[in-house]
Amino acid sequence: MTTYEARLEGREEIAERTMALHFDKPTGFSFKPGQAIDVVLIDPPTTYTQSARHTFSIVNAPFQDELVVAMRMRDSAFKRALKSLPIGSPVKLEGPFGSFTLHNDRARAAIFIAGGIGITPFMSMLRQAAKSQLPQRLLLIYSNRRPEDAAFLTELQELEQRNENFRLLATMTEMGKSARKWDGATGLVNVDMVKHCVGGLVAPIYYVVGPPAMVRAMQDVLSQAGVAGDDIRTEEFYGY
């Protein structure tokens, strides 16, 4: 696996307790939408291996001149260190790696199902699809507790307006805890929701990303909806 050096160019809050980190793109670095990298701290906060590195899906698309990752701000030594890392500081990047990429048969639609920060690999795919005017039909079902927790929601709504082949269904599961107005769908992703959204799409392939419990639940939902296991691709995010 190739190791690169990059510098932290900036950070921003993209949802409540969720941060995006921007790095310069090293010369020669190339990747496919959906792939991941390891971010490795040069001066880790402890000698414990897990405090030195973390795997992240790449949020930006290949055509963009930077590398962006996103993380929920949990209380770990690595995340505390990365949050406080001065702008301009060097880090090491290992990768890219991973086969969680969009299938090549453009006649078959892609159904993305994301829970929370599981949206990250799909952002790269959807940005590249809009830029390339990909003729493939794409549908994203995006589940969050509240609009406050939904990273990139505004951009996704804009991408839907720009790309006639992309549809977004965002659903909120705990609107009783939200201070924002929400006119969209509410409730957990279930069989009826999937069947309603997917109707009319030709032989779709399903991509599911989120915490392990969410991924298992969606596999059960898709199975109940009659989706063959060979048409489901998953990626589990641990402690993202």
Note the helical H segments in the chain. Answer: 77-84, 120-132, 153-162, 191-198, 212-224
- Determine the distance from the C-alpha atom of residue 32 to the mean position of all C-alpha atoms in its chain, rounded to a whole number: 14
Residues 6+ apart with CB under 8 A from 83: 11, 19, 73
Q: What is the pLDDT of residue 48?
A: 47
Asked if the bond preceding 33 is cis, omega within 30° of 0, the reply is no
124-141 confidence digits (pLDDT tens): 999 999 999 999 999 999
172-194 confidence digits (pLDDT tens): 999 999 999 999 999 999 999 99
Model confidence at 24, pLDDT cuts 50, 70, 90, reads very high
69/67 Cα distance (integer angstroms) = 7
> Looking at the domain 110-236, which fold is it?
Rossmann fold (3.40.50)
Q: Report which of 70, 50, 40 is spatially closest to residue 58, judged by C-alpha positions.
A: 70
88-102 confidence digits (pLDDT tens): 999 999 999 999 999
pTM for the whole thing?
Answer: 0.94
Class of the 3-97 domain? Answer: mainly beta
* Extents of the domains making up the chain: 3-97, 110-236
